[in-house]
Each structure stands twice: as C-alpha cells, then as structure tokens.
Structure 1
Amino acid sequence: MSHTYINGRLFETNDAAVSAHDHGLVTGDGVFETLAVYDGTPFAVRRHLQRLARSVAGIRLAPPDLDEIERAIFEVVAKDEISFGKVRVTYTAGNGPLGSDRDKDASPLLVVAASPLAPLSRTARVSIAPWPRNERGVLSGLKTTSYAENVVALDWALSQGSNEVIFANTKGDLCEGSGSNIFLVVDGQLITPTLESGCLAGVTRDLIIEYLGAKEMDVPISTLVSSRTSEAFLASTLRDAQSITHVDETPLHNAIGPVSLRIAKELKELIMDNLNP
C-alpha cells in the first residue's frame, strides 16, 4: 500500500485527492523536484530543496517550509519501505480561479509521493527536437509543473524510436533533454551547456561539474554529431550518466567510451560515500 503526503497529512494513495480548482492542475502553476532513493535513503535532499526554493521564487509563489518538505520526504519513503526508487515533491499555488490569475489569499499545496523503480538502461538513443528551447522565457531554468512542452517533445521522440529528446535553444546551441542534462567529450574535454543556454541546473549536472571535472561551454547543437565529439551522455537524478548510442539515425562510434564509464563509476562512488553532498 503506497502513501501520499498532502499539506501535513499522510493518506493512503487511493484516498489522496486535491481540488479540481488547484492552480497547478488548472494552469500548471507550480514547481516540483524528483529525488532518487538508494537503500531507503533519499539522495541529495539539501540540493533538491535549494533548487525547489529557487524555482518557487522564480514563479513568484510564497516560500515553502523546507523543513516540512524534508520531513515529508523521509516519512513517505519510510512508510512505503522504498529501497530503490524516486520521490516526487510538488508545490503549487493552491486553489485559484479557472484561469491564469491567482487567488492571492490561497494557501499553497504540497504533495509528496514515492514509488519503487527498476534500474534504467545504461544507454539511450536520442532525437533532436524540431522545436527550440527558449532560453529567454520566463520559466527558463526553472523546474515547473508546466511540462507540456517536454511531454509533447518526448512523445514525438519515442515515436522515432528514441528514449530521450534533445533541445537546441533559439540560438541553435545545445541545451538539454526533456528530463536530463547532456555532456559531450569534445577534443578530449568533458563539457556541458552553460545555464545561459536555458538548461536546468540539474543536481547530477552540478555534481559532475563540482566533483568530477566538467567545463560549462556553449556549442552549436551540430557538435553532438561532429567528428570532434568522441562521446556523449545524459545525466539526471534517475539516469546518473547514461551513454548516448545514436543521435536520430547517426550512431556514435565511441558510444560507451572511457570518459562516460569513468563518470558513471565515480558518480556511483560519490553516491555511496555521501548521500547528501
């Protein structure tokens, strides 16, 4: 039996409910975080909550009670006895009108839920989205529940036989995936797009930059299949480092190369050594 935390109370998931007037449901007016769970312990809670707070400020909502959210995360994971899985934290504007304007007196809605996971594949095929990411948009770099753009693009990529979709931004530079950051080995150097590209400041992305040695650099999206690029991989909370084997129909000749393997190994070691880096 799974459980869901809603505004201070723990419910059996089948009995959990939110209002049809919740502004997160009506307009996507909210933010979220997804955390990995290893051996029953949520990973990088501090970093995820800091990013949640940044996203909340970015969409002009009342600040969340981060202590409450942390307690709820551990409570749900323990109650559901999650060993390996994920936790989803959703924070919305609460009840509001059936339109874009908010009810300024409404209390925010907090929902925390968890589920077990099967291990993901270590490789992925990607397709280049025919739509750009707007690096100057009001939601750029924020992890919001306004996710339809990602849903549509990923659904299109899946129809092409891929596992993930990759966006360029309006400048034609490499940006990110629908739910992942992207890293390339170009001329022997490990790089990832800068935050100015419009990509999300992924927690795994930040760990790779801070602990494992990657440089932030903006490059044209064509670099992904350039002869200068020897390896590429996706990074996210649930993927860790997932090697890219194909870009559309183009195979990457060194798909699972030495750098990708090193990063995957060192990420695993980092996780085992410190569950709240």
Structure 2
Amino acid sequence: MDLAIWAGGRLHAPDEPVLTAVDHGLTVGDGVFETCAVHRGAAFALTRHLARLEASAHGLGLPPLPMDEVREGVRAVLRAAGEHAGRLRITVTGGPGPLGSHRYPDDEVRPTVVVVAGPATVSDVARAVRVPWVRNERSPLAGLKTTSYGENVVALARARERGADEALLADTRGRLSEGTGSNVFVELGGELLTPSLETGALAGVTRALLLLWGAEAGLPVREARPDELAWEVLDDVVAGRAHLALTGSVRNVTPVVRLDDHDVAAGPLSREARRLFLARLDDDVDP
C-alpha cells in the first residue's frame, strides 16, 4: 500500500499499530476528521479544512486541538508520500479514555493525532441511489465531521450493492439533505441549488468554494431556502426535469449520470460548475 502514516510524532509502517485499545475514538467514535485532496503535492484548501476540524472538535466538546502537531503530521506524510499522494486524512480523537461514553476531565485528555496520505481514485461523473434512512438535523452531531460514521457506512454499503458510489439522504422533515460523503447540488429552473445547512448537511469545503467561485463567475448557484428542495425533487431528476451534481473534497464537482436504476443526463450548469472548479483548483492551492 502506498500509504504514509504519521502518529505520535513520527512516521509509521502501514502494519504498525498506532492506537491504544482504549482510545476513545476507537471505543466510542469520539473524534473528528478531515479529508483533503492532494493537488501537486499540497493539501488543497488546508486552511479551510483545519478551521472545520477545530469547529467540529469544539462542537463535539473536545478540548482545543494540538494544531501544531496536526500541521507537523501533514508536512511529514506529504513529504513521505510524494507523487503517490492523492488524498490526505487528518484524524484527532479524544485519546485514551474510559470504556464508557464519558470522558476524562479536560486537563487529563490527551488527544490522539493520526495523519495519513495515500492514493485517490477520482471519477468525472457520479452514480447515486436514494436510501430509506435519514439525516437527523436535530442531532448534536449535525453539521460536525466526526468519526461516528456508522450510519454512513451502512448507507454507502447499500449504494455499492446497487452499483453506485454515493447514497443520498433526506432529513427528518422530508427535505433533501446530502450524501454520505458529499454535498448535493440540484440543477433546477436555470439555477444550481444546494440544500440549506438546516437540513443537517455538512458545510462542505468544496460546497463553499463552488458557491463562492460560481457567484464570482456569474454562475447561477446558491444555497436553497430551508424548505425549497423537497426529497421529491429527485423524482424530477429521474424524469429529466432537473439534474444533479455532487461535491466533495476528493470528487471535486461531479455531475450525476445515474440515479437509482435510471440513467440521467448531466446538466449544462453542472458541467460548467465542474469546469470552473477544476480551472480554479489550479489557481490557488489554499483558497
């Protein structure tokens, strides 16, 4: 495996243990993470990703993160991975803790930092399915990028079983929310609309950049009003009255060409959004 792994202040071999059996990230999913694309040897939009990492940790109730350690790990794995790197993952957990869900007092918490760089497989299109489970927009974890990813694992497994690479979820009120690891953009009525964060969707870095760069380029792209994109809008995609695109840190902007068991067309705005994003990607590695 072409992986570079850093933890505890040094690089590790892929088969070398880096966690204690009582790490709270392992026992109860008490941790946060970020995934960045690696572009020309650098972590793309690293400043934005680190800011979200800190925001997720704060929302989870973790003490302030050791950001100097995080940055040291990023530098180390990028040097070690070299041209093989296509993605970078930063994971910070609550460190060694009790076997239950409660944590040690803040002054006793010793966070675990693990940074990994490795290859990435990137496609220029996406295939998605609707799944019956929902994103709970009232969850204390809504909008946080935490290691408590069991729901996403189950939903994505369903998508893979059906030949897709992403699963789409509604929120508890029947509004379109997001994918397991992507934000959604619906091309409808001459606009590209992404669900409101009130649906529990993650504030994706690529989502934010497409909203920013699209507006600067005159592309009609915006965040939808909270109740503007009902789950049933996906029926319009199947019928050809709307189109769909997904955004994510490794996938960038990818038009959807299959939804459930139906081939669907990539919309013109979705294709233009992808072209624009890839062009801007080359302009600034840390926008």
Which residue number in structure 1 is paired with residue 271 of structure 2?
261
Equivalent residue in structure 2 for 1:115, among 98, 115, 118: 118
Deviates more, 1:183-192 or 1:96-105: 96-105
Report how far residue 16 of structure 1 moved: 4.0
Q: Deviations over 1:46-91 (max 9, x none)?
A: 0000000000000000111323312321221111214551111000
Equivalent residue in structure 2 for 1:240, among 248, 252, 261: 252
Do the aligned residues in 2 keep the contact of 1:37 with 1:82 (CA within 8 Å)? no
Report how far residue 228 of structure 1 moved: 7.8
Give the AA of the match of 1:182: V
Give the AA of the match of 1:243: P
Give the AA of the match of 1:215: R
Aligned pair 1:221/2:231, yes or no?
A: yes
Do the aligned residues in 2 keep the contact of 1:93 with 1:107 (CA within 8 Å)? yes
Gaps of 5+ in 2: 216-220
Which residue number in structure 1 is paired with residue 213 of structure 2?
211
How high is the sequence identity, in percent, across the aligned residues?
Answer: 40
Do the aligned residues in 2 keep the contact of 1:187 with 1:228 (CA within 8 Å)? no
Please, what TM-score do these two structures have when normalized by structure 2? 0.91
Give the AA of the match of 1:232: L
Q: 1:99 to 1:69 in 2, by over 3 A?
A: same
Give the AA of the match of 1:189: E
Aligned pair 1:192/2:204, yes or no?
A: no
Q: Distance in 1 between matches of 2:12 and 2:187?
A: 46
Gaps of 5+ in 1: none
Do the aligned residues in 2 keep the contact of 1:234 with 1:241 (CA within 8 Å)? yes
- Report the 3-state secondary structure (helix = DSSP H, G, I; strand = E; otherwise coil) of the residue aligned with 2:22: coil
Q: What aligned pairs does 1:153-168 form with structure 2 within 5 A after superposition? A: 153-168=155-170
Report how far residue 117 of structure 1 moved: 2.0
Q: Distance in 1 between matches of 2:163 and 2:65?
A: 40
Give the AA of the match of 2:119: P
Which residue number in structure 1 is paired with residue 91 of structure 2?
90
Deviates more, 1:8-17 or 1:87-96: 8-17
Q: Distance in 2 between matches of 1:271 and 1:123?
A: 18
Report how far residue 229 of structure 1 moved: 4.2
Which residue number in structure 1 is paired with residue 15 of structure 2?
14
Q: Deviations over 1:21-68 (max 9, x none)?
A: 000000000000001101111100000000000000000001113233
Q: Distance in 2 between matches of 1:269 and 1:66?
A: 30
Q: Deviations over 1:183-236 (max 9, x none)?
A: 011111110001111000010000011111321114101112215843211100
Aligned pair 1:231/2:233, yes or no?
A: no
Which residue number in structure 2 is paired with residue 3 of structure 1?
4
Aligned pair 1:251/2:287, yes or no?
A: no
CA RMSD of the aligned region, Å?
1.5
Do the aligned residues in 2 keep the contact of 1:45 with 1:70 (CA within 8 Å)? no
Q: Distance in 2 between matches of 1:206 and 1:7?
A: 32
Q: Distance in 2 between matches of 1:164 and 1:9?
A: 34
Q: Distance in 2 between matches of 1:229 and 1:161?
A: 24
- Report the 3-state secondary structure (helix = DSSP H, G, I; strand = E; otherwise coil) of the residue aligned with 1:151: helix
Q: Give aligned pairs, total.
A: 274
Instruction: Give the ranges of 4+ consecutive aligned residues of structure 1 lying more than 4 Å apart after TM superposition.
Output: none
Report how far residue 161 of structure 1 moved: 2.2
